[in-house]
């Protein structure tokens, strides 16, 4: 990876690895402990040592199969262990509709673009009670000390366990809900994910398992594309970090208004095709991730490093998905001369669309795709034949519209066109 492609974390960790001979220490001793004050000499440890997703790990960690965990408020351990858990969304699981209570005025369910707002909404409209099967109370959230405990974590290369001792490290709970028989710990993300940091459930789980007589249930919640997805887990061995097992997945959505074929026909018949913008043709195969990125930018403007280091995008994907948002006219770049950084932000149209209720939001997003001629022509054939055209047809249409793209590039962009048309088709409920 060239220096220009490296994040601030990549560069800082390379210096620390060289300074402390970390690879040699791990090879010799199995792991290496590093103080936060040593990390802070290059960059703040809070930015350097929390990797919510495996893709966020610095290059030198990924290349050497290393991970990092806090073991106190001032110390971390680096070793060859697996700290993340893969997440698979089961498309066969029904999305249960939930009516929004008419008496609640202080929650705007069209504006759940932060983890806390999504969690508060889920609790107040009864989703958490349904999840647990009992009436719950919202009792815990925020940062707290883990107290002291020991655990084992597995080296996936040798299948051998490491023994680690944690002494009053800091952990954070997005929400804790208590019922008659259970205490539910929830880690929340306001975007869809491929994996997550087990520590965000395990450290609170160990803390509260000592405090409670009730069964402690660790749960991951994601709120993406207006769907709450809950992954209910258990640790089969409370001393084993890697013993996390999925018990059940449940999905919910609020007051769904279905998009009918007639809605899409009306959009299509009234589309005004616009010229290709002067930005790269998109290479972003999951339009759901475009929607997630738009949602994140509604909360605050983000730099390329912000997106790459804090959300589930690697450097290349950050380029692809921000460019996709720019292509459909909903993201723009903004140079902050004071901070000397370039930020991505929503356009005024993007902000307006995301504040609409779900059905109107997705209708507008469909419109933003179909006003581009390639997508319009491919969707026209999809409507005509009842299926998405084959690769050669899509490539031919793309080459005729985007004359600046060579054949190899067009072949790579084909999958994006196909995926976005499939996404539009998936929004039609009849």
Express as a percent the part of the chain with pLDDT over 70. 99
pLDDT band at 122 (very low <50, low <70, confident <90, very high): very high
Average pLDDT over residues 90-112: 92
Average pLDDT over residues 22-29: 95
pLDDT at 430 over 80: no
pLDDT band at 3 (very low <50, low <70, confident <90, very high): low
Which of helix, strand or coil describes residue 382?
Answer: helix
For residue 17, the model assigns a pLDDT of 98
Average pLDDT over residues 214-241: 97
For residue 398, the model assigns a pLDDT of 95
Query: Cα–Cα distance between 154 and 237 in angstroms, integer?
Result: 13
Q: What is the mean pLDDT of the chain?
A: 94
pLDDT band at 110 (very low <50, low <70, confident <90, very high): confident
For residue 160, the model assigns a pLDDT of 87
15-19, 55-59, 310-314, 319-323: least confident range: 310-314
Domains in the chain with CATH codes: 3-80 (no CATH), 86-254 (no CATH), 261-427 (1.10.10)
Average pLDDT over residues 128-146: 97
pLDDT at 80 over 80: yes
For residue 309, the model assigns a pLDDT of 86
For residue 83, the model assigns a pLDDT of 96
Instruction: Show the beta-strand stretches assigned E in 212-262.
Output: 215-224, 227-235, 244-254
pLDDT band at 4 (very low <50, low <70, confident <90, very high): low
pLDDT tens for 340-391 read 899 999 999 999 999 999 999 999 999 999 999 999 999 999 999 999 999 9
As given in the structure block, the two tokens for residue 349 are 């149209």
pLDDT at 339 over 80: no
Average pLDDT over residues 324-335: 96
Query: Cα–Cα distance between 230 and 222 in angstroms, integer?
Result: 7
**Alpha-helix residue ranges (DSSP H) falling in 176-313:** 199-211, 261-269, 287-299, 304-310
Give the number of other Cβ atoms within 10 Å of residue 130's Cβ. Answer: 16
For residue 255, the model assigns a pLDDT of 83
Average pLDDT over residues 117-142: 97
The answer to whether the beta carbons of residues 267 and 367 sit under 8 Å apart is yes
Burial 254-267 (b: 16+ CB within 10 A, else e): bebeebeeebbeeb
Bridge partners of 206, per DSSP, are none
For residue 338, the model assigns a pLDDT of 79
The answer to whether the beta carbons of residues 413 and 282 sit under 8 Å apart is yes
């Amino acid at each position: 990876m060239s220096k220009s492609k490296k994040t601030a974390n990549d560069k800082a960790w390379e210096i620390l690895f060289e300074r402390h001979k970390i690879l040699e220490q791990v090879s010799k001793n199995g792991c290496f402990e590093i103080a936060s004050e040593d990390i802070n000499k290059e960059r703040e440890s809070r930015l350097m040592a929390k990797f919510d997703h495996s893709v966020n790990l610095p290059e030198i960690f990924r290349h050497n199969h290393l991970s990092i965990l806090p073991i106190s408020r001032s110390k971390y351990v680096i070793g060859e262990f697996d700290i993340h858990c893969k997440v698979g969304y089961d498309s066969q699981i029904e999305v249960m509709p939930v009516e929004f209570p008419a008496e609640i005025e202080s929650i705007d369910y069209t504006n759940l673009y932060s983890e806390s707002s999504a969690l508060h909404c889920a609790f107040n409209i009864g989703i958490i009670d349904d999840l647990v099967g009992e009436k719950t109370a919202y009792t815990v959230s925020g940062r707290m000390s883990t107290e002291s405990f020991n655990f084992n974590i597995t080296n996936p290369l040798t299948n051998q366990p490491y023994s680690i001792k944690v002494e009053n490290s800091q952990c954070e709970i997005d929400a804790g809900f208590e019922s008659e028989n259970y205490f539910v710990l929830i880690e929340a993300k306001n975007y869809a994910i491929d994996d997550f940091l087990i520590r965000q459930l395990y450290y609170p789980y160990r803390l509260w398992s000592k405090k409670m007589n009730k069964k402690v249930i660790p749960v991951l919640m994601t709120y993406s594309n207006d769907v709450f997805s809950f992954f209910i887990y258990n640790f089969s061995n409370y001393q084993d970090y890697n013993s996390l097992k999925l018990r059940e997945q449940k999905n919910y959505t609020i007051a769904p208004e279905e998009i009918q074929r007639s809605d899409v026909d009306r959009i299509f018949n009234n589309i005004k095709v616009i010229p290709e913008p002067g930005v790269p043709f998109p290479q972003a195969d999951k339009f759901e991730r475009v929607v997630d990125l738009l949602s994140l930018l509604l909360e605050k403007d983000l730099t390329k490093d912000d997106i790459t280091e804090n959300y589930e995008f690697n450097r290349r994907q950050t380029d692809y998905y921000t460019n996709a948002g720019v292509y459909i006219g909903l993201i723009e770049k903004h140079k902050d001369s004071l901070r000397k950084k370039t930020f991505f932000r929503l356009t005024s149209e993007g902000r307006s669309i995301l504040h609409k209720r779900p059905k109107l939001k997705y209708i507008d997003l469909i419109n933003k795709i179909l006003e581009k001629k390639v997508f319009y022509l491919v969707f026209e054939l999809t409507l005509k034949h009842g299926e998405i055209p084959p690769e050669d047809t899509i490539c031919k249409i793309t080459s005729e519209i985007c004359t600046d793209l060579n054949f190899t590039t067009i072949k790579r962009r084909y999958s994006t066109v196909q995926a976005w048309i499939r996404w539009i088709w998936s929004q039609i409920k009849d």
